[in-house]
Structure 1
Amino acid sequence: MHICLVLDKSNIIFLNSFLEALTINQIKCTPFIVDSSRDFIAQRNELLKLLQQEDISYILSINEYYDEQKRNLYDDTILEQAKINVWYVDTMQHGEYMPNIVKKYNKIYTFEPTDIEYAKQLYDIDIEYLPFGAGRNLFASDDLTKQKSYEYDICFVGLVAGSTYRLSILNAIAQLCIKNNYKFALYGHFWHSNHYLQQIIGSIKFRYKYPDLYKYVHNQKLEPNKVVDLYRKSRICLNIHNQNHTGLNCRSFEIMGNGNFLLTDKKDTDRLNIKAGVDYEDYSNMEELTNKISYFLCHDKERECIALNGAACVRQNYTIDRLISKVIIFD
C-alpha cells in the first residue's frame, strides 16, 4: 500500500513519528505539507498532481483543512482519486464543516471523545475515538532499567501565552516551589518574542505580573529531543490540557512512554486501557494538585512504580505505530 500523508505546518513536528510509524507497519508514504498561508486551489491542484504521478489511491489526513473562504482542501476531484481517512489530533469542533464533504470521507477518527456525539448530532455520521499517542523512537525507547538522574523536581512544557487557566495553575505551583525550595523548570511560549524589542518588553511585563512564576520560566520552544531529555531529568512531569479537550492528549503519552511520572488534570479515560493512580496521577483542583506534588516528591518508590506502569501501558497500547495501524485500514 502507498498512501499520502497530509498534515499542515503546525503538526510538522510529528512528521518523523508518523513516518516511523508507517514504516513499522510496512506502509509506503509520501507526505504532503499544507501551508495555510497559501491559496488552497493551487495546493489542491498540487496534491492531485502528486496523487496521479505517484499513483496513490489513499490519503491519511491529519486533521481537516479549510482556508479563509471556508474552502476544503479536498474536493470531488481529490475524492475521486483517493479514499480519505481523517484522524483528528485536535477537536473537530472548531468550526462548521461542509457535511457533503465530511460524509464522503472513508473513515474519521478523533482524539477528542466529545467529537463522537458532535459528529452524530450535527452530520449524522459515525466516527471512532482514537487517542493521539507517543512516537516510539523518541518517547518510548528509553532503557527502563537504567537509573534516572534528576535535575528538577517538576517540569512543564507547553503553550502558556493567553491561557489564564494554565497561568493560574503554574503560578500557584511556583509559589509552592518557592516555599519548599523545589526545583521547577518551565519551557514554552509565555510571551511574544518575534524580535528583540518584543522579547524585552514581554519579559518585563510578565515579570511584573507574575514575579514568582517568572523565576522558573524559559520563554523558548524546545525541540522534541530536548523535551525528552527534560522529562528524563524531572521527578514530576506536569501536563495541563486545553480546557476544550476532554481526553488525554499526546503529551500525556509522551511523558509516560519513557517511564516518566505524569501528573495531569483529570480527563475522560473511559475508552482507554489506562488508570489514574496506577499508570499516572491526576488532580481535580489546586489543593489536590499541590498535595500530590508534595506527596510524590517524598515517596520516590511509589512515584517510580507508577511511572514504570505508565511506560508499559503506553508501549503496549499507545505508541503512534500501534494506533496508526487502525487508521490505515481503507476497506
Structure 2
Amino acid sequence: MSLKHRKTRKSHAPVLSLADQARKNGQHAGYDAGKEEGYLRGRANYIVNCAQEPLPFRQLHVLYVSSGKGFPYSPLDEAIMATLQGMVAQVTLSDPRQPVSEIALQTRPDLVLVLDGMDIPLEHLDAIRQAGIQTAIWLTDDPYYTDMTLESVQHFDHVFTLELNCVELYRQNGCPSVHYLPFAAFTNHYFPITTPSALHRDVSFIGSAYWNRVYFFNPIMAQLMSHNTVFNGIWWDRLPDYAAYGEKIELGRWMSPQETNDVYNGTKIVINLHRSHEDDSVNNNHVKILPASPNPRTFEIAASTTLQLTDARDDLARFYKPGVEIETYSSPQELLDKVEYYLTHEKERREIALRGLERTLKDHTYGKRINEMLSIIFP
C-alpha cells in the first residue's frame, strides 16, 4: 500500500462526538479506578492472611465487669470480652448493676477487670481486694473526666489508662501500679472488606461536633464539601452554614461498628480530629491535663485500610510513622492541602493505607494490649 493510500485510510477513522468521547473517557476512568481498588483489596487481603505471632494462653480466671453504659461503650466491652475468651481459661461476665463483690467471692477469679468503672460501687472493690483478689481498671476517657476517675482509681490494685499524661497524675495520687495502655483495633469490627464497597466517598468524618471541631472545620467546610464528602455525628447543626450542606451531614445518627467499617472501606480519606481537653461544657478535667495519646478511632481507621488524616498528637509516632503509615495535619489549611493532594495521588494514598493496616495487625490489636496487661499483672 502506498503512503498516499495509508494517509487516506487514516483520515477516514471515525470521529467521536463529545458525548461518545466523554463516555469512552468515563469507561477508562472506571476501569482504572476498579483496577486500583482491586489492587488495594488484594494487597490488604494478603496482609490480613499473613500468619500473626501467636499470643500466649493463660490458665487464668478473669471476672470482667463491663462499663454498663451501652453504646458507644458496648463495642469496647465486646472487643475486650471476646479477646479475653480466647486468651484465658475462664471469663465470667458481670456489670456494675450486679453484686460484683458477691460474684467475685463466690467464683474466686484470679483477676477482676473493670472497664471505665464510673458506675461500680467502690465498696464492692474494697471487699474484693480484702479477699485477696487482684483488681484492675482500664480507663476509657482520660484525660477528659479525671475529676471523677481520681476518686475511683485508688480502689484498684492496677490502673491502666489510654492517656500517657495521666500516668504520673494517678501515681502522685496514691496508685503504685499505673500503666499506659491505649485501646486498639478489634479486627472483628474493623477490617478491610474483600469486595468493592457499596459506598464511594472521597472524604468522611465520623464523630461528635465538639466545639473545637466546629471551630476547626468551619473555615474550610465549603472546600471539603466540594468533594464527595460526608460528616456524621451529633451537634453538627452548630456549624453556621449547616443548612447549606444538606445530606452531606448525617446529623444525630449513631453508627454501629459494622456501619462505620463500611464507611471507612468506602472512603478514600478519613479525617480524625481529637476532642479538646479545655471544653468545660463536656469535660471534667479541672487541672487541664494536656492529652498526648491517640484516640481509639486512630487504630480502627487504620485497620480498615483507608488513608487517615489525623491531627498530630505528641505520642502518635510511637504507634504509627507519620507520612509512612499515617498522615497528619496541624492546621485547617494543611488538612485541606493534603486532602487535595491525596485525592489526586492514588498510589501514595494506597501505600500509606496498606502500611497502616500492616502496622495495626502487628502491634495494635486487642490481643496485643490484653497480653501486655496480663504480663504486667501476672509477670
Q: TM-score when scaled to structure 2?
A: 0.71
What is the identity, as a one-letter code, of the residue corresponding to 1:317? D
Correspondence 1:281 to 2:327: yes
- Name which of 208, 211, 214 aligns with 1:159: 208
2:129 aligned residue: 79
Contact 1:155 1:237 in 2 (8 A): yes
Matches of 1:21 and 1:237, distance apart in 2:
27
2:224 aligned residue: 177
Contact 2:310 2:328 in 1 (8 A): yes
**Runs of at least 5 residues in structure 1 that lack an aligned partner in the other structure:** 36-42, 192-204
- Name which of 13, 20, 34 aligns with 2:82: 20
1:119 CA displacement:
2.0
1:121 CA displacement:
3.3
Matches of 2:254 and 2:316, distance apart in 1:
32
- Name which of 289, 292, 313 aligns with 2:359: 313
1:186 CA displacement:
1.5
Matches of 1:79 and 1:271, distance apart in 2:
37
1:321 CA displacement:
1.4
1:84 CA displacement:
0.8
Contact 1:59 1:83 in 2 (8 A): yes
1:293 CA displacement:
0.8
* Deviations 1:193-234 (CA, angstroms, capped at 9, x unpaired): xxxxxxxxxxxx658753345542112011110000000000
More off after superposition, 320-329 vs 89-98 = 89-98
* Deviations 1:84-126 (CA, angstroms, capped at 9, x unpaired): 1222222155215567x74553322211011022223343635
Alignment length, in residue pairs?
299
- Name which of 59, 66, 84 aligns with 1:7: 66
- Name which of 292, 300, 307 aligns with 2:338: 292
List structure 1 runs of 4+ shifted beyond 4 angstroms.
96-99, 146-150, 205-209
1:31–1:141 distance in 2 versus 1, CA, 3 Å:
farther
- 2:318 is paired with a residue whose SS is coil
Point out the structure with max Rg over C-alpha.
Answer: 2
1:271–1:217 distance in 2 versus 1, CA, 3 Å:
closer
The root-mean-square deviation of aligned C-alpha atoms, in Å, is: 2.6
Correspondence 1:52 to 2:101: no
Contact 1:140 1:315 in 2 (8 A): no
**Runs of at least 5 residues in structure 2 that lack an aligned partner in the other structure:** 1-59, 278-290
Q: How does 1:1-331 map to 2 (within 5 A)?
A: 1-8=60-67, 9-10=69-70, 11-34=73-96, 43=98, 46-65=99-118, 72=122, 74-81=124-131, 82-91=133-142, 94-95=146-147, 102-103=153-154, 105-123=156-174, 125-140=176-191, 142-143=193-194, 151-160=200-209, 163-178=210-225, 181-190=226-235, 210-219=242-251, 220-244=253-277, 245-269=291-315, 272-329=318-375, 330-331=377-378
- 2:274 is paired with a residue whose SS is coil
Q: Which has the higher contact order (CA 8 A, sep 6+)?
A: 1
Contact 1:274 1:313 in 2 (8 A): yes
* Deviations 1:100-155 (CA, angstroms, capped at 9, x unpaired): x7455332221101102222334363522111111021214645xx6667610111
- 2:66 is paired with a residue whose SS is strand
Q: Percent identity?
A: 23
- 1:235 is paired with a residue whose SS is strand
What is the identity, as a one-letter code, of the residue corresponding to 1:79? R
Matches of 1:231 and 1:98, distance apart in 2:
35
Matches of 1:271 and 1:283, distance apart in 2:
13
